[in-house]
Amino acid sequence: MLLGALLLREIPSFNSIIGGLITIGGILMVLL
């Protein structure tokens, strides 16, 4: 988890992609 957080901080674009996936996943969970 800590390593992942460090990688996300190092790569803003990757961070935004992961954020988008988490957001979509959260929306899907609410809909389902």
Residue 1 to residues 4, 27, 32, Cα–Cα distance (Å): 5, 23, 27
Q: Residue 8: what pLDDT?
A: 63
| Across 13-29, average pLDDT | 83
User: Cβ distance 15 to 9 under 8 Å?
Assistant: yes
Q: Are 8 and 18 in contact (CB under 8 A)?
A: yes
The pLDDT of residue 27: 87
Q: What band does 3 get if pLDDT is binned at 50, 70 and 90?
A: confident
